[in-house]
Amino acid sequence: MTRDNIAAIATAAGAAGVAVIRLSGDSPLKIAEKMFRPAGRTPVAEFEPYRMYPGEIAAEDFSDFGLCVYFRAPRSFTGEDVVEFHTHGGQKIAQGVLNKAVSLGARPAGPGEFTRRAFINGKLSLASAEGLIDMINSRSSAEVRAGYSLYRERLTGLVSAMQDGLSAALAQIDADMDFPEEGLEETSRAAVKETLAVTLKEVRALLGTFKAGSRVKNGVKVGIVGKPNTGKSSLLNALLQYDKAIVSDCPGTTRDVVEGSLEIRGVRFYISDTAGIRDSADRIESMGVELSKRVLKESDVLLFVIDGADVTEEDKAVQKLISGMNVITVVNKTDKGGVSFAGADLYVSALTGENVESVKEALFARTVGAGTDTSGDFLCEERHYAALLRAEKSLNAALETVRSFPLDIAETDIREAWSALGEITGKTASEEIIEQIFSRFCVGK
């Protein structure tokens, strides 16, 4: 298949140390010949692959001195011939070099086109491409780890092995149909049943990691609630360790919603302090409105803050309002002396920082799961979860059938399970899904 030469700036816009302009296609070296003058003796046409050559890079109406490297197909990111120019990292410089390559016949690449070519050329699976985009967009280290694991084909490996098992089961069923006189059906039935049961168990184990995985990917939303002056902003500050919220002595002066985020064991937690309840007469009522409107809908967990030295009916009213939700009840201001509150989960002092770390632990335990190892493998893509749910359903149906009907009746369900698994790796993904995934990429990747 012939591939036109595409070109794009691979690095982010703006002033930087270095910018990389990448070309991929049938003959990027031919373009490089016309715009790169090597400082050494080796002409561009004779460049050794994977070696950096210094020289002059022609841009539109200026030049830069940088490096040129050639990656020979199929040992390149896209699986095609690739040339990279490493210039000084100015926007104008990179754009000028790109424009020059385009004037010499390269076509500006669309979003994700390099990765798409890598997928088409069999260099990576669809799940791996998704891992790559996840890594690039990561806001926490656990998210990077999860993206990296996907990118490095961990999930594809697991899923492909399941598919291989199902293929073997299908072959066995076919063999039975072709040679019924051998009377092997019962032996086959046991083997097929075993394969289906094992695969189902593996699918379920993966499905079971999704809750933690989606927390890793999307982060956790935390709402801080409580009557005014209990120390919500102070607790937010203590958690974030800087003065993001404005702490004040005067009840009701707290601003609207103050937000910040922090990483707990690699997972990003987004915390909103929901004050903004100013009318003291209708405070509880308006708090109810506020809570039901945003926080309760959006929060995965609530921190309910109580002033341990000033527990009133108002606290109990708030407690009632949020009962049944995922609430961590934090009694604050322990530095003021012996305080207690029925149903308290933690006693802290936002002022001295006492026990604030345990708030972080509690947040993690309540949402991601206390013992969760965020360096492990998770299912974190909604799309993979949906595909595995479909596989689970088909496997269940197949297993039911295999128990009491002729084996070949289960074939359709087994094929469907196989196909659902293939959507993850991309073997059976529709053009539409592929389109959707690569549209999430930026130009240059």
Q: Say whether residue 248 binds ligand GDP (CB under 6 A).
A: yes
**Do residues 183 and 167 lie in contact, with contact meaning Cβ atoms separated by under 8 Å?**
no
**DSSP percent split of the chain into helix, strand, coil, nearest 5:** 50, 20, 35
Question: Between residues 95 and 248, which has the closer beta carbon with respect to ligand GDP?
Answer: 248
> Which runs of consecutive H residues, i.e. helices, occur in 208-293?
210-218, 232-240, 283-290
What single-letter DSSP state applies at residue 282?
T
Residue 164 contacts by C-beta under 8 Å, 6 or more apart in sequence? none
Site map 329..348 versus ligand GDP, x via CB under 6 A: ---xx-xx------------
Candidates 97, 102, 129, 350; binder of ligand GDP (CB under 6 A) is: 350
**How far is C-alpha 348 from the chain's CA centre?**
33
Q: Say whether residue 355 binds ligand GDP (CB under 6 A).
A: no
Minimum Å gap between C-beta 252 and ligand GDP is 8
Candidates 27, 87, 229, 355; binder of ligand GDP (CB under 6 A) is: 229
Minimum Å gap between C-beta 307 and ligand GDP is 7
Distance, in Å, from the CA atom of 77 to the CA atom of 82, rounded to the nearest integer, reads 8
Q: Say whether residue 207 binds ligand GDP (CB under 6 A).
A: no
Question: Between residues 201 and 336, which has the closer beta carbon with respect to ligand GDP?
Answer: 336
Q: What angle do helix axes 411-425 and 382-404 make, rounded to 10 degrees? A: 160
Distance, in Å, from the CA atom of 381 to the CA atom of 158, rounded to the nearest integer, reads 15
Over 110-131, what HEC string results? CECHHHHHHHHCCCCCHHHHHH
Alpha-carbon dihedral 201, 206, 209, 211, rounded to 10 degrees:
-100
Question: Between residues 110 and 276, which has the closer beta carbon with respect to ligand GDP?
Answer: 276
Minimum Å gap between C-beta 367 and ligand GDP is 22
Number of chain positions touching ligand GDP (CB under 6 A): 20
Look-up: residue for tokens 């002396």?
Answer: 337
Stretch that binds ligand GDP, among 4-12, 58-66, 222-230, 417-425 (CB under 6 A): 222-230
Q: Say whether residue 218 binds ligand GDP (CB under 6 A).
A: no
Identify residues 259-298 at the interface with ligand GDP (CB under 6 A). 275
Question: Between residues 348 and 388, which has the closer beta carbon with respect to ligand GDP?
Answer: 348
Beta strands 36-38 and 16-25, pairing class:
unpaired
The closest residue (CB) to ligand GDP is 231
Question: Between residues 218 and 248, which has the closer beta carbon with respect to ligand GDP?
Answer: 248
Q: Say whether residue 184 binds ligand GDP (CB under 6 A).
A: no
Identify residues 9-48 at the interface with ligand GDP (CB under 6 A). none
| Exposure of 84 in the CB half-sphere (CA atoms within 13 A) | 21
Q: Say whether residue 232 binds ligand GDP (CB under 6 A).
A: yes
Q: Say whether residue 96 binds ligand GDP (CB under 6 A).
A: no
Distance, in Å, from the CA atom of 135 to the CA atom of 152, rounded to the nearest integer, reads 11
Question: Between residues 237 and 425, which has the closer beta carbon with respect to ligand GDP?
Answer: 237
Candidates 184, 351, 397, 434; binder of ligand GDP (CB under 6 A) is: 351
Candidates 254, 272, 367, 419; binder of ligand GDP (CB under 6 A) is: 254
Q: Which residue, 153, 146, 161, 111, is CA-closest to 128?
A: 153
Residues that bind ligand GDP (CB under 6 A): 226, 228-234, 247-249, 254, 275, 332-333, 335-336, 349-351
